Amino acid sequence: MFDEITDATLAKAGWFPGRSVSIDSWVALLSAEGIEVHRAAAEFLAEFGGLVAEHEGPGISRARESFDFDPEACVGEGDRFIEWSQDLGREIVPVGSLDDGRFFLGLDENSELYSVEAFVASFGRMPSGMINLVRGVMPEVVDETEV
């Protein structure tokens, strides 16, 4: 599914094929923020939720940065995700953070992985989105209109 570098990075963070964790606490947390966890986000969090990848260095078109797949990092940002979802016509669910919390990570109903801040940028659909995140590929800006 992933390339060798992405497999190794995720494995170092604790991921393995077939991994499945309970997402009940994250679903409750996001529900309290007014966000419904769609199927793609539920499956993503079950497989990757709780992982923390601490890596840095040069990437392909941007620096590689640490990231985590913990929706708790997005607490208090529910309005941001709801507004971007409405503006873009996609249901972007918070799934973690990038660069030590500088950016948030979200996943839409089509399994497209995003960087979310004052703009939204796409790493691509899974599994390419994960590879691009890990390998340091600059995400493509979807919208720069500040919400």
What pLDDT is recorded for position 147?
A: 46
pLDDT tens digit at each of 147 positions of the chain: 899 999 999 999 999 999 999 999 999 999 999 999 999 999 999 999 999 999 889 999 999 999 999 999 999 999 999 999 999 999 999 999 999 899 999 999 999 999 999 999 999 999 999 999 999 999 999 975 554
For the beta sheet containing 52-53, the strands, ordered from the edge strand earlier in sequence to the opposite edge, are: 52-53, 67-68, 93-98, 103-107, 112-116, 120-125, 140-143
In the chain the first and final C-alpha atoms are separated, in Å, by 35
Q: How many CB atoms lie within 10 A of CB 20?
A: 9
- The per-residue pLDDT for range 41-56, each reduced to its tens digit, is 999 999 999 999 998 8
Q: How many domains does the chain have?
A: 1
What pLDDT is recorded for position 100?
A: 87
Structure tokens at 104: 């948030």
Domain residue limits at 54: 4-143
pTM given for the model: 0.94
∠ CA 9-11-12, nearest 5°, is 65
